[in-house]
Each structure stands twice: as C-alpha cells, then as structure tokens.
A and B are shown apart, each in its own frame.
Chain A
Amino acid sequence: MVRPQKAVASFDSATGMLRALSRFLHDRDVPLLGQAPGVLEPVAAAIAGAAARLPRAAKEKAYAVSGWAEAVPLRRVPEIRAEELARWVSGHYPPGPYPVAFVGSSNGALVHLAAALRAPWLPQTLLLPVRRRGVGPDDPRGDLRATRAAGEALLAANPELVLHHMHDANQDRLMIAGMTYFRVKWRRLPEAYRRFLEESLPAGATLVVPECGLSWPVTRVGPRYVFQHGALGGATREEYEHGGPRVAGYLSRYGAGRERWDYPPADGESPEAEWGFEPELLADLEELAARNGWRLARMRFDEPEDLSPVVADLYRSWYRRRGLPADRLLVECFLLLEPWWALRSGSVPYWMVFNAGQSHARAMDYLDGADPFDEIRLMLFSHGVESVGLAGVADWRRLLERARKVGVFTGVDTSTYPRDFAGLIRAHRELSRIRTTYPMPLPLEWEAAEEFLGKREELDWSG
C-alpha cells in the first residue's frame, strides 16, 4: 500500500490549506509550508537562497525534480486507498467539540473563515501526482494515453472516488514534465470523515458545505473519469483547446516546436478539478447531518475568488469591533497561507487563487471598493514559468502602491520571480517579523459570522 502522505502532493492547494488550518487549530503558524519543523527555517532559507543563484535551466530542473520526487510511481497507483487518504486528512485536526465544520471545496478564503471560527475543514479534493516517462508537457493526448490505465485501476480499487485527470501545460509546465496530475474527489463520504465529524460535532452544530460552482471543459474517459483541459489561471478555456497568439508565443518561448496544444476534443463540462464541487457527495452529508441532529448549510459561489472579498470584509468588521485598526491587508496566493500570522498581525486576509492577471484584476477591484489600507503585504506563489496570462512584477507593484504607508512584497525576490522558489520559505519568515502585533482573539461566533455571510450577494446560502 502507498502511504497517504506519500501519495498526496505537498505542493498542492488542498494539502497546503489543510496544513495551514490544522496547524492553526494546534496554535501553530506555518513555517516551511508546514512540511518541516520551524527550527529548520533559517537553514532551509539559506539553502534555497543559494539554489536561487543557480542558472535558470538548473533551477527549472531542480523544481521539476523536487515535484517528481514526490510523485507516486505509475505501477503503484492501484495500491492507493481513498479511505487511507481520508484518515490521513482528518488526523490532522485536534479533537472537537466544534460548533461548526466545513466539508467541500478547497478555498484559501475559506481557510481564514474557518480559522476565525476555530473550525475544521475537510477537503473534497486531493492531488495525487503520478510519475510517468516519455511524454512532453505539451502533449496532452500522450499524457492521457500513458497514464489512463493507471487511472482506471485507481478507480476500480476506489469506488468512492471520481478522477479528474488534469493537464495544464501552461501553469504546470515544469511539474508535468515528469508526472501527471490525478485529482480525486470524494463522491461518497469516506468513513474517516464521518467518524471525525461524529466525534467532533455536538448535536445542534452546523455542517457547512462550501460548494464552488466552477466548471471546466473535459473529455469523458469513463463513468467516473474525466480529462481536464488546462485549468483556471492565466489562459482561457478557448486558448487551451484552440490556441491563439498568446499560446503560440508561449510555446515558442519554450521551444515547443508547435503553435497550439492538441487536447482530445471536449465533450462536456465537469466541476473544475482543483476548486469545483462534485455535488454527488451532498446526499451522504445530508443523511449524516440529519442522523446526528446537525444543521446542514450549503454555501454556494460561482468562482473560488468570490469568497475572498467576503472573508476580507468579515475580518475587517471583526477587527473594528475589537477596536483594532483594520488597516492592514495581507494578500495571499494559492497555497501560501498564514491564518495564524494574519490574526496575530491584525491583517485582513485577501486570498488569490494564483499569480495570473485575472487574480490581479480581482484584487485591484477589491481595493477599488474598499476603504484604503495603510499597509499591504503581498505573497506570491512562484511556479517557475513565464506562462500565458502571468501578472508581472510591475503589475503587482501597482497593487502595492495602493497602500497609504507600507506596500511591500513579502518573501518575493522580484529579480527572480516567477522562478523565485526560495520565496515559499521566505514568505513566512518575513511575515513573522512584523513588529506591531496583537493577542490571538477568542474565536468569532458562528452566529455572527453566518449573519454577516448571509447578507453577501456573492454567496448563495440554503439550509
């Protein structure tokens, strides 16, 4: 059997969010993305800093190899067991009781909502990276051909899973050079999740299902198997499928010898692999809630970042109620999350799904509509690629200029971004050095939060 911590990608959103939130509930911050003890941070920062001075090709190789080393060998994929994965996930959290718990879509803003409430979140989706050879990143058909049998074997062994085989040659270029992305979603509630919830939620508690409605074009491979063309970020759905000048420019920059990708034709839409919610799971959750005397609340939104301004505003109003300045903003990106330091530094968290132009535009929109902030800190995830739609350093500087006093990158080396891999370590280090800090507050009351959230038009509540 493959151990769950070996099967699951540590560089992924779901894992990063699980680590950030579970460490928060253990009263811990997130040095080294929660993957190693904090005392190693200075050493790791020094090593990563030295690696940052390597030539570009060597750096890209090192990044790709670091991902590959985490991936599961193709032949071992059928040994992965969903129930083991679920036990590993729920084992991260301290025992309850909790007045509220979340089960569903991954979302960085949701992690901050859960942290404010001191509540756990169980992800519906996990990423299982799988090693494969002999397929270039720009060959989606080749990728599907090489790994399809492993995907089918995984599903045969795990009837509770849906497989979203994902291929993003734009943003995951370095990572998918030697591996493929199997994103799995639970369509039935795993036993470990059920047990954790029953042990942690008293009668009268609320079970909230965050449901991101984002869907994406896919090719159906089997009843529980879809192949997803690209992903949310810099390039559009049309660009993944049909190419265009930006794609041609990108492929030429990377010497791909082609002008567009050759995805198998899309024959439908499906919940997006990383963020979208698979509604089949709802039946089990409803049944479980009814049996235990919990209220089930569905929190629906269209896109991942719909939740970001809502949670940012919730934090701001909470800080004001507590008599804090509420003039500090922490803009986070992808899996770079710091719920503990956000609260200790009195920062309003605003989460961006990735480092691409559309996240930049939405963050600017948020700043347009919000009272000005004195301080803005920005953490940026570096994925190593000059990808289609990437927002550059100059764009991010424009965002930071919105701060009245201090607008700074946190952990970003602007001269090496987006190949700034040491930034993952540096971000926490720099954040933890903010001087003006506040005591950790008592948890936000769920009733107050729900009333606030219920009034927001970005969210559709029921139950």
Chain B
Amino acid sequence: MPLESLVRTALGMRVAVWRSHGPGPAVVCLHGAGVSSRELLPFVRAMGVTHDAWSLDLPGFGRSEKPRAPLTLTALADAVAGWVAESGLQRPCLLGGSFGCQVAVDVAARHPGAAGALVLVGPTVDARARNPARLVGQWLRNSVRESPRMLPLNAADYLDAGPRQVLASFGISMRDRIEDKLPHVAVPALVVRGGKDRMVSQAWAEEVTRLLPRGRLVVMDGLPHMVPYKDPRGLAREVGAFLEAAW
C-alpha cells in the first residue's frame, strides 16, 4: 500500500507527514536527532497493516518548514502536541526512535492529554554517558551493526536539515534530563531496546523503564540502535501486542 503524504500546519509551521491508514488505533512516529521520517517509513508501512500509522518530520527536518533558529526540545514537543490537536487524533500512541523518545516523553509529561501511550525505541541519552566523546564512541561501535542502506538516507536528511540544525539537535538531545520527566509520564509506556544497541545500554534501558510508572521493557535480540529500520515488522508486532494490552 503506498504511503499518503500530507502537509499540515502546527503552531504556524508547515509539518510534513506520512500516513499508512490501517484499521487499528493511531501510532505517530517521531524520528531521531538530525534525521527525518525517511528511516521510519519502512516501519510506518509495516505498522500500517494493522494500525493507523503516522510519521512526521519535526520542524526544521526533512520536508518540514525550517524555523529561523533551531527549536528547543520544548518547542519541538509543543509542535507535536499542536499537530496532534489539529489532526483530530484522539490520544494516539507516540512512538519515538532515539532522540524522538525525548520529544515523546516531553509531550507526555507536559501535555497530559496529547498521548494515550508511548513507545520508546532506543531512548537517549543515558544519564551517565552525557559527554560528546563518549557518545561518538558509542555511535561508532553501534554503526557497524546498522544496515548500510541507511547511510544514503541519513546523508540526505543531514543535507535537508543543514549543519546548524543537525548540531543543534544533538546539543538539545545531550542537555535534556529525560530521567527527571519519566516519573511524570502517566500513560502506559513500552521501552524497546535492540540487544546489540551500543548507544543505549541495557542498564539505561532498565533504568528508563523503572522510572516510568507504567513502563515495560522489551529487548529485541541481535538488533542495533535503529530497530525500526532493521526489523520494522518485528517492531510492529511488539507495538501491536503492547497496544492491545494497554488499551
């Protein structure tokens, strides 16, 4: 089934969105730092078989409008919450990949009515690893396990966003103290970690789950950080099962 491409307006900015309209409740995907929906589209297709799957380019990334200055994490979260309100979706499940988890958690903690559930796939950034050199090291160790087909997608994303946006998003990701917000996420939340993810340690994934009042951890064996790209169908199965139990 082809993906539907839409452009909506949220908080005065044009936001590019993809949708695969399946029968089940809505799942809205949020991408990682510096990239765009491109790497989530295989997952949107897989999720769309059973659910109403969406993916949006955060303002400043992919095909969305570029603000004059990079947005803060709070502003990105507000844009997502605004988009949800304007799109008429009723408390959808927000699924974040990597930095997208930080946006999703901020939405859930500060806009309690915006999300009905969260899925955090490879949540960044480990509170004990908030240092650029360490992150680069982890990223390099992880990258050998990622699909090489993701490289051209990432390159296109970085070109779309421009170096200023990309660096700003990494800076935001690093400064965000996600651990302070997790206890305020009241909705059911599924944490997903690839068993071979070098950017998100098992200990940190457990810590994130522990801090979430209604969190549950799933480890997908043998997968790297970008679970949605490497195993879109497997992840869709896990999310489907989680939503069935949660709702």
Chain A, residue nearest B207 (CB) = A435
Contact status A433-B210, CB under 8 Å: no
Contact status B222-A434, CB under 8 Å: no
Contact status B206-A408, CB under 8 Å: yes
The answer, yes or no, to whether A242 is at the interface (CB within 8 Å) is: no
Contact status B221-A415, CB under 8 Å: yes
Which residue of the partner chain, among A404, A409, A415, A434, contacts B206 with CB atoms under 8 Å? A434
Q: Which residues of B contact A407 (CB under 8 A)?
A: 217
A408 to B207, CA, bound (A): 13
A433 to B202, CA, bound (A): 9
Which residue of the partner chain, among B202, B210, B221, contacts A405 with CB atoms under 8 Å? B210
The answer, yes or no, to whether B64 is at the interface (CB within 8 Å) is: no
A1 to B216, CA, bound (A): 57
Chain A, residue nearest B204 (CB) = A435
**A interface, by DSSP: helix, strand, loop or mixed?**
loop
Contact status A375-B202, CB under 8 Å: no
Write the nearest CB–CB distance from B247 to chain A, whole angstroms: 18
Q: A405-B209, A415-B222, A436-B207 are in contact. Are A430 and B202 (CB under 8 A)?
A: yes
Contact status A405-B203, CB under 8 Å: no
Contact status A406-B221, CB under 8 Å: no
A375 to B201, CA, bound (A): 17
Contact status A408-B202, CB under 8 Å: yes
Q: Which residues of B contact A415 (CB under 8 A)?
A: 221-222
Contact status A408-B201, CB under 8 Å: no
Q: Which residues of B contact A375 (CB under 8 A)?
A: 206, 210
Contact status B203-A435, CB under 8 Å: yes
Contact status A433-B217, CB under 8 Å: no
Q: Which residues of A contact B201 (CB under 8 A)?
A: 433
The answer, yes or no, to whether B215 is at the interface (CB within 8 Å) is: yes
Contact status B219-A405, CB under 8 Å: no
CB-contacts of B117-171 with A (<8 A): none
Contact status B207-A405, CB under 8 Å: no
The answer, yes or no, to whether A414 is at the interface (CB within 8 Å) is: yes
Q: Which residues of A contact B204 (CB under 8 A)?
A: 435
Q: Which residues of A contact B219 (CB under 8 A)?
A: 408-409
Give per-residue flags for B186-212: 1 if the beta carbon is below 8 A from chain A beta carbons, else 0: 000000000000000111101101101
Contact status A405-B215, CB under 8 Å: yes
Write the nearest CB–CB distance from B156 to chain A, whole angstroms: 34
Contact status A408-B222, CB under 8 Å: no
Q: Which residues of A contact B217 (CB under 8 A)?
A: 405-408
Which residue of the partner chain, among A404, A430, A434, A436, contacts B216 with CB atoms under 8 Å? A404
A374 to B207, CA, bound (A): 12
A156 to B13, CA, bound (A): 91
Give per-residue flags for B214-230: 1 if the beta carbon is below 8 A from chain A beta carbons, else 0: 01110101100000000
Q: Which residues of A contact B215 (CB under 8 A)?
A: 405
A409 to B202, CA, bound (A): 11
Chain B, residue nearest A413 (CB) = B221
Q: Which residues of A contact B203 (CB under 8 A)?
A: 433-435
Chain B, residue nearest A434 (CB) = B203
Extra contacts, 12 of them, besides A408-B202, A430-B202 (Cβ < 8 A), are: A374-B210, A404-B216, A405-B212, A405-B216, A405-B217, A406-B206, A406-B209, A406-B217, A408-B206, A415-B221, A415-B222, A435-B204
What is the interface of chain A, defined by CB distance below 8 A to chain B? 374-375, 404-409, 414-415, 430, 433-436
- A selection of 23 A-B contacts at a CB cut-off of 8 Å is A374-B210, A375-B206, A404-B216, A405-B210, A405-B212, A405-B217, A406-B206, A406-B209, A406-B217, A407-B217, A408-B206, A408-B217, A415-B221, A415-B222, A430-B202, A433-B201, A434-B206, A435-B203, A435-B204, A435-B206, A435-B207, A435-B210, A436-B207
Top 8 A-B pairs, shortest CB-CB distance: A433-B203, A435-B207, A406-B217, A406-B206, A405-B209, A406-B209, A435-B203, A414-B221
